[in-house]
Structure 1
Amino acid sequence: MDDSVDRHIARWRGKAPFDERVEAIVTRMQFLVKHLAQAKDGALAAVGLQDFEYETLHWLGARGEGGRATPSELAAELRVSPAGMTGRLDTLEKAGLVRRVRSTEDRRRVDVELTSEGRAIWLKAMDLRGEVEDAMVGVLGPDDQDVLAALLKRMLLRVESPGRA
């Protein structure tokens, strides 16, 4: 049974020099990543979040139950300017998803933490994304998933190695 990548390769066969196996692998990965991005957009829309809001909640949620960070830590992790982070936090705070609190370690410092509502909406978005991811990967059995994970890791290590393309 042909998929869209098989049709893509057939369209280009003989018209440009390319390795069909490499093209099939890379194009399928691109299409799967596009599918995941669309699923993420749908999950965020379903819970009423914009991407920048989700990313900020996600970084806070990754810090554990307390979900605390300084605005400058968040700005650095998310690669956003301090002014841009202030705007993000203002929006999230007005929505009741985060709150600014005095640091327990240094009263001069302000921390940002997830509210219970912020944690709940972030987890709902995570669940919706997870359903799509599970359905996509679930067509493979556990052994095939392990093999695919190992192969992708080898590829990623190659491109993450210094001096590698």
Structure 2
Amino acid sequence: MSQESRVKSSAESTQGAPLETILQQWKRERPDLDPSPMAVCGALRRANDRVRTAIEGTAAKGGLDGAGFDVLLTLRRQGRGETLTPSELAGEMMLSTSAMTNRLDRLEKRGLIERRSDPKDRRSLKIALTEDGFSLADSLVVSHLTVEEQLLAPLDTAEREDLKRLLSKISA
């Protein structure tokens, strides 16, 4: 299945009942309530499901799950040869450090990352991409951006900026 087909099929599978139908049902059943927040949050959830499914498809092309994909791209954007401690990596990814260990173990087994002793603090580790990890991340980021562009294609530049601004207000 092509990446574009995967994006389209993920859209179809996350749609469910039309949001307007859901609102009308709630208005009928509970006319004392304003169900309009459900429409906004439902649309956000459906959009998130579609984006997540598409991104997981990109990660799968590299034999990764979403978690491993995030680690590789986070390390890659630091620059060639740059390292992060597991705590710094978790912070960059907005995760707990305990969630990081299994991710790093899986990537290390595949030869995509390496744990190095920190020369400034022997009790600490630094995480770095191997050459294979760097190459895979470089390849996957191109596919990733292509998929994201396909997802956002219905929006013009101003709409994308508006959406980014509005979502930032919710996530702040």
Cα displacement (A) at 1:5: 2.0
Matches of residues 2-151 of structure 1 in structure 2 within 5 Å? Answer: 4-16=18-30, 17-74=32-89, 78-81=95-98, 85=101, 87-103=102-118, 105-106=119-120, 108=122, 110-151=125-166
| TM-score normalised according to structure 2 size | 0.70
Q: Greater relative contact order (Cα 8 A, min sep 6): structure 1 or 2?
A: 2
- Give the letter for the 2:130 counterpart: T
User: Could you list the runs of 5+ residues in structure 1 that have no partner in the other structure?
Assistant: 161-165
Q: CA deviation at 1:68?
A: 0.7
- The CA RMSD measured in Å over matched residues stands at 2.8
CA distance in 2, matches of 1:139, 1:119: 32
| Secondary structure of 1:100's aligned partner | strand
- Tell me the residue number matched to 1:163: none
CA separation in 2, counterparts of 1:88 and 1:127?
22
State the one-letter code of the partner of 2:28: G
Q: TM (normalized to structure 1)?
A: 0.72
Q: Distance in 2 between matches of 1:115 and 1:126?
A: 16
Q: Report if aligned partners of 2:23, 2:36 keep a CA contact under 8 Å in 1.
A: no
Q: How many residues align?
A: 152
Q: Percent identity between the aligned chains?
A: 26
